[in-house]
Structure 1
Amino acid sequence: MFSRALIVLVLCFIGNQSFAQDPNFYIFLSFGQSNMEGNARFEPQDTVSNPRFQLLQAVDCPDLGREKGKWYPAIPPLSRCNTGITPGDYFGRTLVENLPDSIRVGIINVSVGGCKIELFDKDNYKTYTATAPDWMKGMIAQYDGNPYQRLVELGKLAQETGVIKGILLHQGESNTGDQTWPTKVAGVYANLLADLSLEPNSVPLLAGELVSAEEGGKCASMNPIIGTLPEVIPNAYVISSQDCEAIKDGLHFSAAGYRLLGSRYGEKMTELLKSNN
């Protein structure tokens, strides 16, 4: 009887040693389409790393010396191997600048350029993928055909060392005019929380506006729809894209635009984190 109890204690000790969750390691999930993936080329100023800001790599990138599921300094690209600067870059930088030195920030980015929100619908993504253009199918394949599941997989891995504190979304260009978009996002949000064993509505969701009309945004008409997201997700907040510089295609932000938009994500999350402490 004594030997069996001792074995149980030893096993528990080993388990605790291998699962060292740090409550001061704040994890953030990010997903969306090309603007969250990162369309603008990053510049030298964007590649200065901070040891308190880390990236959990979402795909293998041999040329970058990165492996899926491992932590690295969070410098671009945060998404796939050949992507650019994203709102996530300056989101994280803003957080570490404004939170106590004891806090570390980790980010996960699973995004697919051109995709509709339906790609992240865990029950219907196969139907959407079947109709996707070949160039998009190649990107989806890098996530083993299921970007949503990759986000969950990495989220669970991150929970072994940190605590999920928020979710970042930038998506909507491909759903422009879809009045049901907020409800679809709410479904993805609810599934993420359930699959990561988080309480309903317990984690803030920050959703960024698309390129504004003032910047020539071709999908700016979607912004009022994005603005209704807090009506269906109580813990959702919309991040303004006003004055965020765009490029001539009217769909994507410039590097300067990403920096400003990302800092706004960071400022809002800093406010929320401080108000909850």
Structure 2
Amino acid sequence: MICSPIKHKLGLLFAGIIGICTAQAQDPNFHIYLCFGQSNMEGHGKFEAQDTVTNARVFSLQAVDCPDLERAQGKWYLAQSPITRCHTGLTPADYFGKTLAQNSSDEVRIGIINVAVGGCRIELFDRDSTTTYVKTAPDWMKSALSAYGNDPYEHMISLAKIAQESGVIKGILLHQGESNTGDLHWPRKVKRIYDNIINDLHLSSSETPLLAGELLTEEFGGKCASMNAIIQTLPTVLPEAIVVSSAQCEGTTDGLHFSPAGYRQLGTQYAKALMHHRARFEKQN
């Protein structure tokens, strides 16, 4: 069992509280963030005891049914690893949510939706290429795709619409690029997906930044570190994009993934990047 019975019952209790409090109207103080990408967003790192400690104001919308965790798809629970699927690991979204809550006023709650597929190219989330991508996907990816009805993008959108009944979508987190290393068209592909999300969920682009995290750096043996130069150009194509530095985020020996400590640091840096963006926006306005 991932969490103690006491903690899990508390999670169910808070999930019930959210349902009761927000069933009648959208709560402007319930800030929701969509997260997508490949394995580093999916949660490759094994979470540790400290990572299962919850924050009473951070929740996750369950993306798939997990009977062993007593979680049902489309329901809110206190955010506790694993927040992507039933057997995934620690993600930057975990500590993004916690850091943001710790630096927000007490009435603000944070909601996380995480739909990610290890090893995927960015094209998987482009609705015009999803069907072809799924048909030719390697066998090891098929179980993850199946969990999302073989359409991760539409699955994320359907969850987001459920979330919009309770709160307000305030941003999008992306961590992807290892499988597109060297792809100079990646920024435009990301923009296309971003534009689809904005249109499908009737969001305001000026109020919905996209935070794109850098890959594991050369400092920690990152095999795809060269992709960071391309990721850094994203704001020139997508002005709403914020590039999140992965500096000082340690990795594992495979040269692709972050260590648990690296995920904690990266998640914190996502939150700090968003807070810096907001502070600057407020100063300008």
TM more than 0.5: yes
2:146 aligned with 1:132, yes or no? no
Asked if the contact 1:99–1:270 (Cα under 8 Å) also holds between the matched residues in 2, the reply is no
Q: Distance in 2 between matches of 1:57 and 1:174?
A: 26
Cα deviations across residues 78-129 of structure 1 (Å, max 9, x unaligned)?
1011000000010001001101001000000000000000000011111111
Secondary structure of 1:84's partner? coil
2:136 aligned with 1:119, yes or no? no
2:238 aligned with 1:238, yes or no? no
Alignment of 1:3-42 (within 5 A): 18-42=23-47
Name the amino acid aligned to 1:128. Y
**Which residue does 1:176 correspond to in 2?**
181
Alignment of 1:23-102 (within 5 A): 23-102=28-107
Cα deviations across residues 111-162 of structure 1 (Å, max 9, x unaligned)?
0000000000011111111111011122100000100001100111101010
2:185 aligned with 1:193, yes or no? no
Name the amino acid aligned to 1:203. T
Q: Distance in 2 between matches of 1:268 and 1:53?
A: 18
Count of residue pairs brought into register by the alignment: 261
Asked if the contact 1:201–1:233 (Cα under 8 Å) also holds between the matched residues in 2, the reply is no
Report the Cα offset of residue 173 of structure 1.
Answer: 0.3
**Which residue does 1:145 correspond to in 2?**
150
Q: Distance in 1 between matches of 2:242 and 2:98?
A: 20
| TM-score (normalised: structure 2) | 0.89
Report the Cα offset of residue 275 of structure 1.
Answer: 4.6
Asked if the contact 1:30–1:36 (Cα under 8 Å) also holds between the matched residues in 2, the reply is yes
Report the Cα offset of residue 274 of structure 1.
Answer: 4.3
Report the Cα offset of residue 60 of structure 1.
Answer: 0.6
**Which residue does 1:206 correspond to in 2?**
211
2:273 aligned with 1:268, yes or no? yes
2:103 aligned with 1:103, yes or no? no
Q: Distance in 2 between matches of 1:242 and 1:269?
A: 16
Report the Cα offset of residue 18 of structure 1.
Answer: 4.7
Q: Distance in 2 between matches of 1:245 and 1:234?
A: 29
- In structure 1, list runs of 5 or more residues that go unmatched: 1-16
The answer to which of 267-276 and 121-130 deviates more is 267-276
* Matched-pair identity in %: 59
2:269 aligned with 1:253, yes or no? no
Asked if the contact 1:206–1:236 (Cα under 8 Å) also holds between the matched residues in 2, the reply is yes
2:207 aligned with 1:218, yes or no? no
Secondary structure of 1:55's partner? strand
Name the amino acid aligned to 2:121. K
Secondary structure of 2:110's partner? strand
